[in-house]
């Protein structure tokens, strides 16, 4: 995790490994509200691969550590691929400056 924190969308390729016959090297990460407050979550409202309901549960687990940008779009790609200027601007600002929106954001 420390060596490759940004994956440029590559986690999608992990689906091919779901039946991999070897055990993981690391234990699953336990998500909690303890730790740095620098998490930005970005979620399409109608993502069949990662439903909004699951993202909301993760958002609750992070507590005040995270801010979530919910994008009014369909599909799994929520950044630079769905034409939502509001969501794209929030993510670009975070990547460029490290600054998140002041609160959870809904992008129409």
Complete DSSP assignment for 60-82: HHHGGGEEEEEEEEESS--SSSS
pLDDT score of 51 more than 70: yes
Confidence label for 27 from pLDDT (cuts 50, 70 and 90): confident
Can you give the pLDDT at residue 32? 93
16, 100, 97: which is closest to 66 by C-alpha?
Answer: 100
Contact, 64 vs 37, CB < 8 A? yes
Question: Considering only CA atoms, which of 36, 33, 27, 23 is closest in space to residue 1?
Answer: 27
Say whether pLDDT at 47 is over 90. yes
Rounded distance between C-alpha atoms, residue 22 and residue 24, angstroms: 7
Distance (Å, whole) CA 68 – CA 40: 6
pLDDT at 2 over 70: no
Is residue 37 scored above 70 in pLDDT? yes
Q: Which pLDDT score, from 0 to 100, does residue 25 have?
A: 86
pLDDT in tens, 66-83: 999 999 999 999 999 889
């Amino acid at each position: 995790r420390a060596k490759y924190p940004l994956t440029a969308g590559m986690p999608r390729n992990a689906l091919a490994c779901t039946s991999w016959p070897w055990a993981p090297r690391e234990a699953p990460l336990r998500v909690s509200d303890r730790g740095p407050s620098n998490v930005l979550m970005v979620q399409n409202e109608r993502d069949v691969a990662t439903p909004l309901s699951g993202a909301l549960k993760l958002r609750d687990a992070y507590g005040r550590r995270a801010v979530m940008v919910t994008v009014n779009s369909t599909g799994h790609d929520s950044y630079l691929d769905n034409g939502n200027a509001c969501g794209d601007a929030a993510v670009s600002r975070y990547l460029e400056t490290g600054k998140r929106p002041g609160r959870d954001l809904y992008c129409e």
